[in-house]
Amino acid sequence: MQKEITFKELIDSGYKEKTITEELQANLIARIQSKQSVFEGLWGYEDTVVPQLKKAILAGHHINLLGLRGQAKTKIARSMVDLLDEYMPIVKGSEINDSPFQPISKFARDLIAELGDATPITWVHRNERFFEKLATPDVNVSDLIGDIDPIKAATLKLPYSDERVLHYGMIPRANRSIFVLNELPDLQARIQVSLFNILQEGDIQIRGFQLRMPLDIQFVFTANPEDYTNRGSIVTPLKDRIGSQIFTHYPKSIELAREITEQEANISPENNAAISISTIAKNLLEEIAFEARNSEYVDAKSGVSARMTISAMENLVAAARLRLIEAESTTTSIRLVDFASIIPSITGKIELVYEGEQEGADQVANLLIDNAIITQFEKIFPSIPKLEKEGVKTTYTEIIEWFDNNYIELNYTATDKEFHENLNKITPLLAVVKEHSSELDKEDQAFCMELVLWALTIKKKLDKSENTTSLKFDSLGINQFFYGSN
């Protein structure tokens, strides 16, 4: 924490005032030259968004981040705070972060005129220089720019023509800071118009006042392409004043998506220590999001937010935690049967097209999970043939035949030992997993046993039924043969 000083002490210290653009540029250059990471935690953007962001900062541009839901647009904006100086001096008591070198409010100008070098200077940490507003249709000019405050006028016994009766909105209060306006197209056109002069000239108009206030603000706007047609648009003159428009995107690989989920999911250290998650389980979770983004039932224009897999991971861990409590165990691992617990995370995070609405949200969620299971299954094991030739064995013939005289019931609350002992009864399954996943660790191999069983049910080779406590795998009975399996 910086101590309070006087204006003279600030000058004598050799402090050189910089605009926010100069701050961002200087600190960006310093990080690049020292080979430091510039933007932490922006997985998958290293070769796309980050280079464009660096160029926009070096160009001194206001920025519009354009992308679908859950593409880290706000996180990008927040990460820019790290490129500000740690502390910034302001005239003590200023509502709008007045610089003592170039005061713009009447309060600061009058104080410096009265006290001169003895003007008290206080410091603002960079974390307090980030302002964020969600653009909703009810946002008005008073919220963003300001208004006349009749209470202040009455208290100070000032006429409404005096500048001191003004109540500053969020934008003037963000002077010398980063101001993020999320979902810009949702802002009414007439409100967007009020931003013209601020971006171009630094002028603000409040009621009858026309103030020349050279506000020093780094604007970052965010917008969703869907909003351009569904809810509104960015008016052309405002768009023209935004220097750089940068497109964001979803992670392009399962590995990157997994890094994002692990970084963002709210998992306590206690749960991390008690609950293990195999690599294949993590990959399967991310594969569900990839399937959703390509599904004919899901609205591609709306997008499938990365928050879906983050929420799903938290639900998976919660399911495992519940098992620990019910089984009075100390450790467990995520199982494929636990994936039933992520359905609320899927249904709450996707927008369905007409065909999806006809199917039903739960049915679409189950279909996405099934498709992801098959995709992950076929990366490890041979594909399951649709038809089997009589007398010709496939990789899975002996497993299917084992179920002709047997079945297994997997209890959701069974301990890991009981659960895997039950699976290990299927000796042909053990042989198939050992043959095709021998290079995987034991945790992944255990998950693969479930993966094979689920794939066989999806491909209509086995039957799967469930109740509130367990999942039963059995051979296809006569009813399933004629009427279809679950």
Distance CA 467, CA 224 (A): 41
Q: Mean pLDDT lowest for which of 17-26, 210-219, 311-320, 445-454? A: 210-219
Mean pLDDT of the chain: 89
CB atoms within 10 A of CB 432: 19
CATH 1.10.8 corresponds to the domain 251-379: yes
Question: What are the start-end ranges of the H helices in 68-144?
Answer: 73-79, 106-115, 141-144
| DSSP summary character for residue 165 | G
Banded model confidence at residue 217, pLDDT cuts 50, 70, 90: very high
Helix axes 442-458, 361-377, angle to 10 degrees: 120
pLDDT at 263: 93
The Cα–Cα gap between 224 and 294 comes to 19
246 DSSP β-pair partners: 65
Residue 176: band (very low, low, confident or very high) from pLDDT cuts 50, 70, 90: very high
Please tell me the distance from the alpha carbon of residue 97 to that of residue 384, in angstroms, as a whole number. 67
Closest CA to 322 of 434, 468, 217: 468
Q: In terms of pLDDT, which residue wins out, 143 or 423? A: 423
Q: What pLDDT is stored for residue 226 in this prediction? A: 66
Looking at domain 5-247, does it have CATH number 3.40.50.300? yes
| Mean pLDDT along residues 29-47 | 92
Q: Which residues contact 120 (CB under 8 A, 6 or more apart)?
A: 4, 5, 6, 7, 91, 92, 93
Q: 377 near 455, Cβ under 8 Å? A: yes
Tell me what pLDDT residue 480 has.
Answer: 44
Scored b (16 or more CB within 10 A) or e, 445-454 reads bbbbbbbbbb
Q: What is the pLDDT of residues 89-111, one digit of tens each?
A: 999 999 999 999 999 888 999 99
Reported confidence tier of residue 482, pLDDT bands at 50, 70, 90: very low
Q: What is the pLDDT of residue 325?
A: 94
What pLDDT, on a 0 to 100 scale, did the predictor assign at position 478?
40
**For the residues 138-152, what does the mean pLDDT come to?**
82
Question: Has residue 208 got a pLDDT over 50?
Answer: yes
Amino acid symbol at 321: R
Extended beta strands in 146-276, E state: 146-148, 166-168, 177-182, 203-206, 209-212, 217-223, 244-247, 275-276
What's the pLDDT band for 485 if we cut at 50, 70, 90?
A: very low
User: Would you state the pLDDT for residue 229?
Assistant: 45
What's the CA gap between 172 and 163, in Å, rounded?
Answer: 14
Question: Which positions ≥6 away from 124 have C-beta within 8 Å?
Answer: 87, 88, 89, 90, 97
- Give the whole-number percent of the chain exceeding pLDDT 70: 94
Q: Name the token pair of 475.
A: 């051979």
Confidence check: pLDDT of 479 > 50:
no
pLDDT-derived band at 174 (thresholds 50, 70, 90) equals very high
Domain boundaries, the chain: 5-247, 251-379, 385-486
Question: According to the model, what pLDDT value does residue 186 have?
Answer: 86
CA angle 299, 221, 212 (to 5 degrees): 155
Model-level pTM? Answer: 0.84
Token code pair at residue 228: 């351009």
C-alpha to C-alpha distances, 454 to 339, 376, 419, 447, 462, nearest whole angstrom: 12, 11, 16, 11, 9
pLDDT class of 486 with cuts at 50, 70, 90: very low
Query: Percent helix, strand, coil in the chain (nearest 5)?
Result: 50, 15, 35
What's the residue count for the chain?
Answer: 486
Position 12 scores a pLDDT of: 94
Looking at per-residue confidence, does 137 or 299 come out higher? 299
The answer on pLDDT for 271 being more than 80 is: yes
Looking at 50-54, 77-81, 194-198, 379-383, which range is the least confident one? Answer: 194-198
